[in-house]
Amino acid sequence: MTPSVVLATRNAHKLDEVRRILADVGIAIEIVPLPDDAPDVVESGSTFGANAVLKARSAAAHTGMPAIADDSGLCVDALNGMPGVLSARWCGRHGDDQANVNLLLAQMMDIAPLRRGAQFVCAVALVVPDTGSEQLVEGVMEGRIAEQPRGSNGFGYDPIFVPDRMSETTAQMSADQKDALSHRGQALRSMASLIAAELT
């Protein structure tokens, strides 16, 4: 029987991405979406890891199932690491990707190309309620902020993030190209072996 894990997100893009990445590494596991009646989690942690653990614990407690959760965001050098854990609500509203991108570009308007360094960071937590096990891994993708949005793939800040040694934004890449480089891909590949050890 294939083990199931609930993914603590209501973001359909993220659900697709996690399923794709874990399938690519050969983990035979069913990723179940978060139930509609699951409580919202206040992301009160000061780090991506703390928020990922909060969300995974909540999903595991609500469903009684093993749960994985990620918290991720963009850390911009010229903004002292912001928006960081506030990435999804940088504009003041949660999940308004276009407004977040527009605000960040406005804040970076006078920043010279050599000072536009940034990192996408992703922490992934696994909580297994039957054993009380909690695991946490992190992935980082280094890059820089483009001057204008480019591309229509991906979501969030993808249209303005150019990974190191690349000329395209992550929104101009295919899903496979992005998964091979991305912070979430790195973290989930690290988590895959932990999931296999815990659940299969």
Catalytic residues: 71
Residue type, 52: A
Distance CA 171, CA 150 (A): 7
CA 48 to centroid of chain Cα atoms: 9
- Exposure string of 149-184, with b = 16+ CB inside 10 Å and e = fewer, is bbbebbebbbbbbbbeeeeebbbbbeeeebbebbbb
Closest of 44, 53, 199, 41 to residue 130, by C-alpha: 199
Q: Please give the backbone phi and psi of residue 139, each rounded to the nearest 5 degrees, phi first.
A: -130, 145
Scan for tokens 């504009």, then name that residue.
91
Are 78 and 116 spatial neighbours (Cβ–Cβ below 8 Å)? yes
